Structure 1
Amino acid sequence: MYDARIKPKDLLSITVVSSEPEASRRYNLFTPQAQDLTNSLNSQPTIQSYLVDNEGNIELPILGILNVKGLNTKELESLIEKRLTPFFTGEMPIITIRILNYSINVLGEVLRPGKFVTANERITIFEGLALAGDMTIYGKRDNVKVLREGMNGERKIYTVNLNDKNVFDSPAYFLEQNDVVYVEPNQSRANSSRFGAAETYRISTLSVLISLATMAATIYSITR
């Protein structure tokens, strides 16, 4: 079963809920939202998020610095619960962690290329393409590229053949946060692009020649 691993620059939401409100409140820091005259009555504070630094650390109230790089959210919940044990006298609190900025980028021959933020931390390459409206008829299904930055900043490029029955075994079948999916154009699209560029150049050249001829004729008629 795939689980997303926490990476540097991830933005984490961490909430602590227990039967001891006073004990859990110190771990749930709230950030007041900016208010104006129209929404000051409806504005609600939001729970503070935690940015994972380049070393994979976050700093929590009371607990201090924790290294979270490479953990999945369940593992981090267990780690925080263990660290909180001395601070609760009754039943243990419930820890909930989410990656707030889990996003993928889909480019190339798709209907709606762009960046997509998703609350689902377990998204497949097919689901990623669906977010972008699926491939156009010009996309190469047997040569989809997935660009990925690893846990320590290393970059890899995976080639995925969506027509292959073994696609489910590809390391890029499940997309990771900040992955870039690029759908290459097929030969038909490449040829039409070259034809279109050539036609544009010829039309531009012809327009310039016509303009020059018109200008020359005008000057001739004035000076004769």
Structure 2
Amino acid sequence: MTLRLRKTFLGCAIMAALMGVTSCSSYKSALYMQEAEQFNENPKSQLYDFRIMPKDELIIVVSTTDPEASAPFVRRIGQSKELNNSTYGIQDANLLGYLVDNNGCIDFPVLGMVKVSGMTTRECEAHFRELLKPYLKEVPNVTVNTSNYKFSVLGEVGRPGTYSSENEKMTVFEALALAGDMTLFSVRDNVQLMREDATGKRQIYTLDLTKADIANSPYFYIQQNDVIYVKPTKAKVRSNTFNTNASMWITILSLVTSVSTLVIALTK
């Protein structure tokens, strides 16, 4: 083998090795929850409970064996605040939600202002059962649900937008799945989550979705009104910039060519 062929072979081998390393690196950066084996060896259990916050809208249903007895505590659309249940067809109307104010309270029929912020829905149900005992001959059945649980997913995902869910327990992966998942041009180890707490303070947290221990993060479960932002990779930004610049220069070149052709035609 001549020296020239050896150099050529060596150059090809180096290029192949570099391409392999780059390919492996790109492949690894596209994977979720890596090192799962280490995580499974020492898992940490974490139970998540949805907590009511200001600006939440609650649907509260109070029922007893005697519908007339519980009627004053069930407000429906089209029904007055005083809850005169004699309105025709009111039993079939939709329930009216209770908006939690900035102080964490709702204005509930008969009871007045009741603080609910910070409670889970089950705690809220138990709280209302105790408050309603003096007004009823039996312990009422109370159910509490949220009607405006929503979140937003922005950036390099399949379907950016704002989504709502009836599920009060949703992981960041489930939220991304609803948004069409991340694309191959997404930065998975630097996902940003913006969250507003009960006092109105907003903070941004960074999530590394390539690590399996993300499941132990306090931000693994999203809350109502969370905003998830997925950054694009530098390659995607460069590609878009190149395409934009190329289109601009092609347009300019076409214009210059047209003008030059016109000038040459006029000077003949």
Q: How far has the Cα of 1:139 moved from its partner?
A: 0.9
Structure 2 stretches of 5 or more lacking a match?
1-46, 80-88
Between the aligned partners of 2:64 and 2:254, the Cα distance in structure 1 is 75
Between the aligned partners of 1:106 and 1:86, the Cα distance in structure 2 is 46
1:157 to 204, 213, 216: 204
1:102 to 110, 125, 149: 149
Structure 1 stretches of 5 or more lacking a match?
34-40
Specify the SS of the correspondent of 1:66.
Answer: strand
Specify the SS of the correspondent of 2:117.
Answer: coil
1:186 corresponds to: 233
Question: Is 1:45 the equivalent of 2:88?
Answer: no
1:15 corresponds to: 61
Specify the SS of the correspondent of 2:205.
Answer: strand
Q: Percent identity?
A: 40
Give the AA of the match of 2:206: T
Alpha-carbon displacement from aligned partner over 1:106-148 (angstroms, at most 9, x marks no partner)? 1111111111100000000010011011111111111111111
Which aligned runs of 4 or more in structure 1 are off by greater than 3 angstroms? 210-218
Q: How far has the Cα of 1:58 moved from its partner?
A: 0.7
2:76 to 30, 33, 47: 30
Q: How far has the Cα of 1:209 moved from its partner?
A: 2.5
2:106 corresponds to: 58
Between the aligned partners of 2:248 and 2:235, the Cα distance in structure 1 is 20
Between the aligned partners of 1:150 and 1:215, the Cα distance in structure 2 is 65
Between the aligned partners of 1:54 and 1:214, the Cα distance in structure 2 is 69
> In structure 2, do the counterparts of structure 1 residues 194 and 19 end up closer, same or farther at CA, with 3 Å as the change threshold?
same
- The count of aligned residue pairs is 211
1:127 corresponds to: 174
Give the AA of the match of 1:75: E
Give the AA of the match of 1:116: Y
Specify the SS of the correspondent of 1:133.
Answer: coil
Q: How far has the Cα of 1:179 moved from its partner?
A: 0.5
Alpha-carbon displacement from aligned partner over 1:53-78 (angstroms, at most 9, x marks no partner)? 12211100000001222111111111
Question: Is 1:81 the equivalent of 2:133?
Answer: no
RMSD: 2.0
> In structure 2, do the counterparts of structure 1 residues 54 and 212 end up closer, same or farther at CA, with 3 Å as the change threshold?
farther
2:183 corresponds to: 136
Q: How far has the Cα of 1:20 moved from its partner?
A: 2.0
Q: How far has the Cα of 1:206 moved from its partner?
A: 2.3
Between the aligned partners of 1:217 and 1:25, the Cα distance in structure 2 is 89
TM-score, normalization by structure 2: 0.74
Is the helix fraction higher in 1 or 2?
Answer: 2
